[in-house]
Structure 1
Amino acid sequence: MTSLAAPPAPRMVGRTVGREVRSGVHWGVSHGLPTLFLRRAAGRGDLQARLIRVGSMGTDEVFDLIEEIRASGPLYRSRIGYVATSHAAVRQVLTSDDFRTGFPADEGLLGRISRWAAPTTLHPVAPPSLLVTEPPDHTRYRKLVTRVFTMRAVERLRERTEEIAADLLDGLADRADRPVDLVQAYCAVLPVTVIAEILGVPEHERARVLEFGQAAAPSLDLGLGYGRYRSVNRALARFDAWLGDHLEHLRRHPGDDLLSQLVTVQEDGQGLSETELRATAGLVLAAGFETTVNLLGNGIALLHDHPDERARVTADPALWPNVVEEALRLDPPVLLTGRMAVRDTVLAGQEVRAGSMVTAILGGANRDREVFADPLRFDVGRANARDHIAFSAGRHHCLGAQLARMEGEVGLRAIWQRYPDLRLEPGARRRETRILRGFESLPATLRP
């Protein structure tokens, strides 16, 4: 006799339908409507709309569009808002109290609808994330985590990072004569291992953390298709659940890592709420390796494509720290960021009204001829390479900048010293993300 499974309870069905409805509404407000607007604006020649759409294709055409925007002046007025490409204007947007994180759509009817329909899991561009909070909350969150990223703390990690890089390259020795994807085998594994050790993540969990980070990377973007939106939210939900379990484990078995310290402070009543703790821990964990993956991949590609510059640093290893700065300048891991004007102000000689959005093109500021001579040239000896704004500026300057610099220097030096004849193979693929810029796949033969 065949047994039939009991049908789902009406209440469970109702909750599922409710979640699906909210998901569709949130996607429509946050991505669907903006996508339609961008498509129309791009069709009418709006350069910012074209930049956003081209950015999702993962091609170098994005830099051609940035230069086209720059040609119109230091501040481009689009149908969306303003676009700053000059070094001075971008720095002003990032450091001035006239601008803050957030979007005009956060207010009004669409904002209320978006908040009602938003997923309940944490999101990197939703409060209380450090990316979108402002003082005094931002100051409090940041103060609790800065001590692990000081220059002194990072330098103590250098020897361990060198060991990790050497172990990874040792593991590739048997595959050195056939193509290997450097992103999956090296660029991603090195920084995720380092940040996992800092944050007390067990070795058997690190592959999951890497998977979460890669799946959730598009969450920073605008204009996601519904399928991508759903997959990103599923990844964020899984990451949120895993993070809750990990924090609970650290409560029972605290170590000397940063998260254990944050949990201890929380329990003393002096630190973060549970939601704030999850948001801060999740962002530090993901941001602690995602952008460094891009830095390593972009740096490897630049050195490969410029053998004369590679020969310079081989002859003078003291140039390795500057190689990192020049890679960050010319091909930054984060292409752009956005701010909203909180009051009427003047930017690059133009009036900007309160509530206006300004997109700061980090990749444009880093190629400003007023600051960098021959800015499109990769020059490992560039004297002012460190004047780039790849790590943002002001109160939202990247917490992990020193860690990323150290990992970039160690990681690039190690792979080129071990495999000086490394050859990139056809099939490299850029990430299809508008804000983060890096390689999704970078096939190479280490010993041709």
Structure 2
Amino acid sequence: MQTESRPQQDSRPDQPYLMEDSGLVRMPFKALMADPHGMFRVARALGPVAGFSDGSAMMLRAADVQRMFGDPRIRQIGVEGMQAAGVAEGPFLDWARETLLLSHGRDHVRRRTPLARAFAYPLMNMLRPSIRRAAHRLVADWAPDEALDLRDSFAAQLPARTIAEILGAPEADVPEFTSLVYRMTKGLAFGTLPEEFDDIHDAAAELHAYVERLLSDSRANPRDDFLSAYVARVDAEGDLSPTEIITQIVTVIIGGADTTRAAMTVLVSLLMDHRDQWDQVCADPAMAAGAVAEGLRFEPSIGSIPVFTLEPIEASGVVIPAYRVLSLSMMSAMRDEALYADPDRFDIRRTDHPRLHLVFGGGPHRCLGEALARAELEEGLIALTQAWPGLTRKGPAVRMTGIGGIRSASSLTVVPSR
């Protein structure tokens, strides 16, 4: 569940407008949900910060968002945001209290450091051959001219199989923990209702128990793999409790599953709408990296990152008070005309991406799984374009839902063809 508060609909016309007294921009809620990119475009021109009737704010411009990464005047929003939104106590909140995703300060460093070593770019790139094999296996058995749901048949399966290999989990377990992952990650999505948390809590409890069994087996039968090395390191250092160790592995499992599923699904949909660019990737697999970077910019699977202000924050003369929820909008920043040329154009040959892609955040909380996500998306796209260059979409394009937290991608029906 998104930890920032939900903006309320305004009574003004369906266009953003500037509040002269505060310098904040108001965006009518229904219009924002219907056309977020259009609303953000108008709002960015009016001012740097949007304000909502519940007192929360949202940074809109790329320079301000980039400047806030790692700023000591903000911190991650923890469990208190979920509790304020009406989420009841249970296993999901227990996970949220101890995950590195929502930690800050010393706790965040303790929980992140052992995983950061394991998820470094060189180590993740060593996984590319196995990711490549998994991607090609997934598409190899498709029948020509028979429609299928790419989101569920491919985009959801590749990250699940990759994580299973990283953790040394039996391939037979993939369907079980894939289901648990997508049930649990609903708790991090925009607009999840409090009554949906019974199932989310159940999934969190089952995934916790599953990881506990994996760790127990890894300790009893150590192997030359990620999980055994991680367990040996954290056990020797003694800096994490048994529950914290389980929680960080659960975080590894869920961290990239939903975001990668959405990113792959919408990327293929965008390429179906820009057939010449799909054909470019088919002709030259080296174009996959640019396609992935552009897909992540154009329709990100993370809408915004909510933080909590510890001191007043100023952006182009607009002041956000201390002790407020502030969202750093990835969606708006990555369509900012000040950073990207012609930002509403999808172009896989774009050369103006910043060195650090905004979708992965920045500072001490920059996404640990960036290298893994890029590898999965690039290898997945290459497998699709090499096996089925004539792939076509049947039905509507993918619709991305939400402006904060993890965004949801609608299904994508495709027809394989060579």
The higher radius of gyration belongs to 1
Q: 2:333 aligns with which of 355, 359, 365?
A: 365
> 1:281 Cα shift?
0.7
Instruction: Specify the alignment match of 2:375 in structure 1.
Output: 406
Counterpart residue type for residue 127 of structure 2: L
1:132 aligns with 2:102: yes
CA contact (8 A) 2:393 2:415 kept: yes
Instruction: Specify the alignment match of 2:181 in structure 1.
Output: 213
CA contact (8 A) 2:5 2:56 kept: no
Q: Distance in 2 between matches of 1:261 and 1:290?
A: 26
Q: 2:138 aligns with which of 168, 180, 187?
A: 168
Counterpart residue type for residue 69 of structure 1: A
Instruction: Specify the alignment match of 2:72 in structure 1.
Output: 97
> 1:230 Cα shift?
2.3
1:75 aligns with 2:49: yes
Instruction: Specify the alignment match of 1:144 in structure 2.
Output: 114
CA contact (8 A) 1:98 1:341 kept: yes
Q: Distance in 2 between matches of 1:76 and 1:132?
A: 24
> 1:114 Cα shift?
7.2
Instruction: Specify the alignment match of 1:11 in structure 2.
Output: none
Q: 1:307 to 1:100 in 2, by over 3 A?
A: same
Q: Distance in 1 between matches of 2:183 and 2:286?
A: 37
Kindly report which structure 2 residues correspond to 1:9-20, keeping only aligned pairs within 5 A, or say none: none
> 1:187 Cα shift?
1.0
> 1:106 Cα shift?
6.0
> 1:386 Cα shift?
4.6
For normalisation by structure 1, the TM-score amounts to 0.82
Q: Distance in 2 between matches of 1:270 and 1:420?
A: 51
Deviations 1:22-74 (A, max 9, x none): xxxxx9xx99x967xx5xx31545956727x965xxx7x23233234324311
Deviations 1:273-315 (A, max 9, x none): 1121122111111113322212211211111110122233344
> 1:184 Cα shift?
1.5
Q: 1:438 to 1:104 in 2, by over 3 A?
A: closer
Match of 1:303, SS? helix
For normalisation by structure 2, the TM-score amounts to 0.87
Q: 1:104 to 1:352 in 2, by over 3 A?
A: farther
Match of 1:254, SS? coil
Q: Distance in 1 between matches of 2:261 and 2:329?
A: 20
Instruction: Specify the alignment match of 1:181 in structure 2.
Output: 149
Counterpart residue type for residue 351 of structure 1: V
Match of 2:277, SS? helix
Q: 1:250 to 1:49 in 2, by over 3 A?
A: farther
Q: 1:88 aligns with which of 32, 43, 63?
A: 63
Q: Distance in 2 between matches of 1:346 and 1:431?
A: 31
> 1:258 Cα shift?
2.5
Q: 1:341 to 1:366 in 2, by over 3 A?
A: same
Instruction: Specify the alignment match of 2:23 in structure 1.
Output: none
Task: Name the Cα RMSD after superposition.
Answer: 2.9
Query: What is the aligned residue count?
Result: 403
Counterpart residue type for residue 88 of structure 1: A
> Percent of pairs identical after alignment?
27
Q: Distance in 2 between matches of 1:345 and 1:43?
A: 25
